Amino acid sequence: MFLIDDILLFPFKSLFWIFREINSAVENEMQAEPEAITAKLSELYMMLETGQITEMEFDATEKTLLDRLDALHEDISSEDEESD
């Protein structure tokens, strides 16, 4: 009887495992994103100092990166409040 149950439930268990793996990968990527943005900001400052980009390009890119970083921090804060 258990063998039949295992055979019948296998597709559902497999899908559940796949969804857990996808969720885990997304969470890992979201946790690593602030560090990646910070690294991009450091690189951007170096590019400005070495004259590889103009100040206008720097300002536009910096604003985009800082806005994304702020949004991530807000998401993290709201998740922490929801878990309390």
Given a cut of 80, whether residue 79 has pLDDT beyond it is no
Helices marked H in 1-84: 2-49, 55-83
Q: What is the pLDDT of residue 40?
A: 95
- The tens digit of pLDDT for each residue in 32-75 reads 899 999 999 999 999 999 999 999 999 999 999 999 999 988 87
**CA distances to 7, 10, 56, 68 from 35, in Å:** 44, 39, 24, 12
CA pseudo-torsion sign 49, 54, 55, 58: negative
Two structure tokens written together for 35: 């560090």
